[in-house]
């Protein structure tokens, strides 16, 4: 079902976001704890990195259909 | 015999009215006094009448034998009575029959054996027996009526069975058989006759030859004897002569014996020939007669010749006897003389003729004296003889006469025999000639009879022909009439039959065509049913579940319309997915669309160029903030503005609500970008459903059309 694809994408996106954010947070925490003397900026950095990554992934995933891969061609449909 | 009842009645009448007249009066007289004496009188009169009639019948039967036979035939036990009274009937039918038969058998030729004549006549006249019988009956008619049936009976009995005309083939067969038998008999008889004739002729000739030889021998012997007696030859030739004589005598004896034996043999042969001839005469075949006649003539001539030869021999023998007697006498005289001479001159022996030189004078004198004495004696004897000459001559004549008489008798006897024989042969010859003539005459009569018969038959046949012809014409008319009627009936029947047949044919054709039409209808019905099944399967879609796979239904359709190209094409035009998986119903699609709609609204702004997350966010915001009509009626023509996704969605929703999936699909098809991606599957499904539905509709329309079309005969 094509209509379920978006939902799946969103699910993936969210899952990925959660993972990335969590990972970033974790890393940030870790970094902050480990490397940066409990500053919060690695946590937020990690969080931000995580979010950003997730956002980018999500966007890529959502766009993936419209991107021309080298091995395939996408048929353009002209409007009007 | 027809007189007897009349006689009886007459007698009765006389008795009654002649004699009984006074008794009647008496009776009347006595009637007044008493009835019993009258009854006794009647009884007495009756008895007297009966006795007198019987006596009269017996007397008349004694006088007239015909009447007697008639009475015996008609009245039972009368033959016993008449036999007792008169003795057996001399003219009873059996004896009359025999007499007639014998009379018939002995015709006008009493001397000839008539059996064969009779037999030949009867045998050759089998087919016209009635005629023969009538002729013979005419001859014998003077014997009266009663022998005629007896005669017929006799003839019948002779011809082996009842008198009826035999069929021509049988007659000719019998005649042919008879002829064959006659031929055989003739052949055998002629063979036997010839054989015996030949043998007897041979023996007769032999006998005649022997007789002639005997004659010759006797003649020569006699001549020699005469010579020996009379001739004066020298003594040495005398002895030779005497020897010749002896040989001649011996020869004569032998030839005579031979002749006698040959004569006996010839006589035997002739007797056998005679017996054969007699046996041949007994046979009834007519053609044997001339042979027999000829044989008899031959026999007769042979007998005559033989007798002649025998008489010649006998005459020669008698002459020889005379000569021998003469020689004996001479010898006797010589012996006497010799004895006297020897008594006179005992020393002189042998022939005195040869002793001329040896006798002395005394002897000669004595001899001469003796001779003189002898001469005297002989002269005396001669004188005595002359005296007794007449007497001796008379005695001799008497003897001669007797002997002549005997010879004459014998000759006469043989001559009469011969002439009798000749006469008989002549008679037989004449008889055979007459027989031939009679047979020829008989044949001409028969031919005349046959000709008359054929004429008569011809006339009768002509008359019958006329009658039959008229009958036949009548029958023919009737026949033609009947035939016409039957023909008419037949024609009517044929017409009816033809009409019925035509109708039947029409009916058959109609039925056939109906069968065909029904077949078509059945097929169409089947097609329709299968199409209906297909359309039913379309309805089996549950909510959100596709229908059953249409494969089986389509298979059914394909089976049911195997010879219909259109249907087959249509059936094969169904999309694969529908066959394999089935299609979604419109309701499910509608519900799905309703769920799709919100998604589409949310991604309305996303397309190839606008597909970041921010756009997503914006599109989501738009969807949250923009409100469109749930269902908007679509215009007939789309403008650019109408291509807005929200408008399109509402149009599509409206169409879906109004069950126009096609238009809805068309509207949905106008979506672009991500929205289109989202509804892609739905669109595909909608397309499938639409295709299937279209095909099914076509098929059902077609089935309906075909079904409608089958109600009319092709």
As a whole number of angstroms, the distance between CA B537 and CA B418 comes to 153
pTM, to two decimals: 0.39
> Which residues form the domain of B72?
60-86
Task: Classify residue B332: in a domain, yes or no.
Answer: no
Mean pLDDT of B6-19: 59
Taking CA atoms, what residue in B is nearest to A6? B678
Greater confidence (B223 vs B349) lies with B223
Could you give the angle at the alpha carbon of B713 between the alpha carbons of B712 and B714, nearest 5°? 115
Within 44-73 of A, beta carbons closer than 8 Å to B belong to 55, 58-59, 62-63, 65-66
**How many interface pairs between A and B have CB atoms less than 8 angstroms apart?**
41
User: Among B612, B672, B681, whose Cβ lies nearest the Cβ of A2?
Assistant: B681
The answer to whether residue A80 neighbours chain B at the CB level (below 8 Å) is yes
- Best probe of the B interface among A3, A17, A55, by most B CBs < 10 A, is A3
pLDDT at B442: 96
The CA-based angle B375-B380-B386, given to 5 degrees, is: 120
Residue located via tokens 């003795």: B87
Give per-residue pLDDT as tens, B494-548: 999 999 999 999 999 888 888 887 787 787 788 888 888 888 877 776 666 776 7
Write out pLDDT tens, residues B444-465. 999 999 999 999 999 999 999 9
Element (H, E) at B687: helix B674-709
| Domain residue spans of chain A | 1-78
Per-residue model confidence (pLDDT) at position B618: 92
Which pLDDT value is given to residue B150? 43
Angstroms from A39 CA to nearest CA on chain B = 31
User: pLDDT digits over B37-59, tens only?
Assistant: 789 999 999 999 999 999 999 99
Nearest to B225 by CA among B242, B250, B213, B240: B242
Nearest to B154 by CA among B133, B126, B138, B124: B133
Interchain pair A58, B613: CB under 8 A: yes
Sorted by sequence, the CB contacts under 8 Å of residue B107 that are 6+ apart come out as: B114, B117
Task: Average the pLDDT over B251-264 and give the result.
Answer: 85
Beta carbons of B200 and B252 less than 8 angstroms apart? no
Average pLDDT of the residues in B625-638: 86
pLDDT of residue B156: 45
pLDDT for residue B319 is more than 70: yes
Lowest mean pLDDT among A15-24, B89-98, B149-158: B149-158
Contact B153, B97 (CB under 8 A): yes
Percent of chain B at pLDDT exceeding 70: 79
Instruction: Name the DSSP class of B127.
Output: G
In a domain, B125, yes or no: no
Q: Note whether B470 contacts A: Cβ–Cβ < 8 A.
A: no
The upper half-sphere exposure of residue B589, i.e. CA atoms within 13 Å in the direction of its Cβ, equals: 29
Q: What is the DSSP letter of B25?
A: H
Nearest CB among B607, B672, B678 relative to A3 is that of B678
CB contact under 8 A, B681 and A1: yes
Query: What is the per-residue DSSP string for B638-673?
Result: --SGGGSHHHHHHHHHHHHHTT-HHHHHHHHHT--T
d(CA B295, CA B311): 24
Q: Band of the pLDDT at B151, cuts 50, 70, 90?
A: very low
Q: What is the pLDDT of residues B336-359, one digit of tens each?
A: 877 876 776 655 555 555 555 666
What's the gap in Å between the CA of A57 and the closest CA on chain B?
10
Distance in Å, alpha carbon of A21 to nearest chain B alpha carbon: 17
Residue B162 has pLDDT above 70, yes or no: no
B509 lies in some domain = no
B122: nearest Cα among B356, B286, B333, B293? B286
Residue A29's pLDDT band, with cuts at 50, 70 and 90, is confident
User: How far is CA B635 from each of CA B601, B645, B662, B672, rounded to the nearest angstrom?
Assistant: 21, 15, 15, 20
What is the token pair recorded at B99? 């007499």
Nearest to A2 among B612, B672, B679 (CB): B679
Taking an 8 Å cut-off on Cβ atoms, the answer to whether A5 and B682 are in contact is no
Number of domains chain B is built from: 2
Give the whole-angstrom CA distance, residue B280 versus residue B272: 12
Contacts of B679 in chain A (CB under 8 A): 2-3
**Cβ–Cβ below 8 Å for B677 and A5:** yes
Asked if B607 and B674 count as a contact pair (C-beta separation under 8 A), the reply is yes
Joined tokens for residue B477: 């008319």
Please give the residue of chain A at the shortest CA–CA distance from B670.
Answer: A79
CB contacts, 8 Å: B616 with chain A = 62
Pick from B287, B292, B271, B278: nearest CA to B194: B292
CA distance A6 to chain B (A): 8
Contacts of B416 (CB under 8 A, 6+ apart): none
Q: Any chain A CB within 8 A of the CB of B143?
A: no
Distance CA B199, CA B608 (A): 170
């Amino acid at each position: 079902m094509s209509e379920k694809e978006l939902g799946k994408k969103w699910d993936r996106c969210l899952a990925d976001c959660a993972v990335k954010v969590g990972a970033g947070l974790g890393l940030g925490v870790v970094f902050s704890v480990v490397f940066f003397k409990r500053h919060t900026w690695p946590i937020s950095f990690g969080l931000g990195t995580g979010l950003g990554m997730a956002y980018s992934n999500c966007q890529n995933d959502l766009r993936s259909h419209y991107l021309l891969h080298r091995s395939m061609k996408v048929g353009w449909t002209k409007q009007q | 015999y027809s007189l007897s009842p009349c006689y009886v009645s007459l007698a009765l009448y006389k008795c009654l009215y002649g004699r009984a007249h006074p008794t009647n009066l008496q009776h009347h007289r006595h009637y007044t006094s008493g009835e019993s004496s009258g009854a006794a009188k009647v009884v007495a009169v009756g008895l007297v009448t009966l006795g007198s009639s019987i006596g009269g019948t017996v007397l008349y039967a004694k006088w007239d034998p015909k009447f007697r036979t008639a009475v015996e035939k008609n009245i039972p036990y009368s033959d016993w009575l008449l036999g007792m009274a008169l003795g057996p009937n001399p003219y009873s039918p059996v004896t009359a029959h025999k007499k007639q038969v014998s009379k018939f058998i002995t015709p006008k030729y009493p001397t000839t054996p008539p059996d064969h004549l009779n037999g030949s006549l009867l045998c050759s006249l089998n087919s016209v027996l009635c005629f023969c019988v009538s002729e013979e009956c005419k001859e014998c008619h003077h014997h009266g009526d009663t022998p005629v049936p007896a005669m017929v009976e006799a003839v019948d009995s002779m011809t082996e069975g009842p008198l009826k005309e035999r069929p021509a083939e049988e007659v000719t067969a019998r005649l042919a058989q008879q002829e064959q038998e006659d031929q055989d008999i003739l052949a055998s008889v002629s063979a036997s006759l010839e054989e015996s004739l030949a043998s007897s002729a041979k023996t007769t000739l032999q006998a005649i030859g022997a007789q002639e030889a005997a004659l010759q021998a006797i003649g020569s012997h006699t001549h020699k004897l005469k010579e020996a007696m009379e001739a004066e030859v020298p003594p040495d030739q005398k002895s030779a002569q005497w020897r010749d004589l002896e040989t001649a005598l011996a020869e004569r004896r032998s030839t005579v014996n031979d002749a006698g034996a040959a004569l006996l043999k010839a006589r035997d042969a002739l007797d056998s020939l005679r017996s054969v001839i007699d046996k041949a005469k007994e046979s009834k075949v007519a053609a044997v007669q001339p042979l027999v006649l000829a044989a008899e003539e031959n026999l007769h001539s042979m007998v005559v010749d033989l007798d002649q030869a025998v008489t010649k021999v006998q005459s020669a023998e008698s002459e020889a006897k005379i000569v021998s007697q003469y020689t004996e006498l001479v010898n006797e005289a010589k012996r006497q003389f010799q004895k006297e001479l020897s008594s006179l001159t005992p020393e002189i022996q042998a022939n005195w003729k040869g002793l001329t030189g040896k006798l002395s004078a005394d002897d000669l004198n004595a001899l001469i004296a003796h001779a003189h004495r002898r001469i005297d004696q002989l002269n005396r004897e001669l004188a005595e003889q002359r005296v007794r000459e007449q007497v001796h001559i008379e005695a001799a004549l008497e003897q001669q006469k007797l002997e002549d008489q005997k010879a004459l008798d014998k000759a006469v006897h043989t001559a009469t025999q011969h002439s009798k024989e000749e006469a008989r042969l002549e008679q037989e010859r004449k008889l055979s000639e007459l027989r031939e003539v009679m047979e020829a005459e008989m044949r001409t009569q028969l031919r005349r009879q046959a000709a008359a018969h054929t004429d008569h038959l011809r006339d009768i046949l002509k008359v019958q022909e006329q009658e039959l012809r008229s009958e036949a014409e009548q029958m023919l008319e009737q026949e033609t009439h009947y035939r016409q009627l039957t023909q008419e009936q037949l024609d009517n029947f044929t017409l009816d039959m033809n009409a019925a047949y035509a109708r039947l044919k029409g009916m058959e054709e109609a039925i056939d065509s109906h069968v065909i039409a029904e077949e078509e209808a059945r097929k169409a019905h089947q097609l329709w049913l299968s199409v209906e099944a297909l359309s039913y399967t379309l309805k089996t879609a549950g909510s959100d579940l596709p229908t059953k796979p249409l494969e089986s239904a389509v298979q059914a359709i394909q089976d049911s319309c195997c010879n219909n190209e259109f249907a087959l094409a249509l059936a094969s035009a169904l999309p694969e997915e529908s066959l394999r998986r089935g299609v979604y119903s419109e309701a499910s699609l509608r519900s799905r669309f309703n769920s799709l709609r919100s998604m589409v609204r949310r991604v309305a702004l996303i397309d190839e160029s606008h597909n970041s997350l921010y756009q997503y966010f914006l599109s989501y915001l738009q969807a949250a903030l923009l409100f469109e009509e749930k269902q908007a009626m679509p215009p007939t023509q789309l403008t650019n503005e109408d291509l807005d996704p929200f408008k399109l969605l509402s149009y599509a929703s409206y169409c879906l609500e109004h069950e126009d999936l096609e238009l809805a699909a068309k509207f949905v098809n106008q979506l672009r970008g991500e929205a289109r991606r989202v509804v892609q599957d739905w669109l595909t499904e909608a397309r499938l459903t639409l295709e299937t539905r279209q095909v099914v509709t076509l098929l059902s329309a077609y089935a309906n059309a075909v079904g409608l079309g089958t109600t009319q005969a092709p």
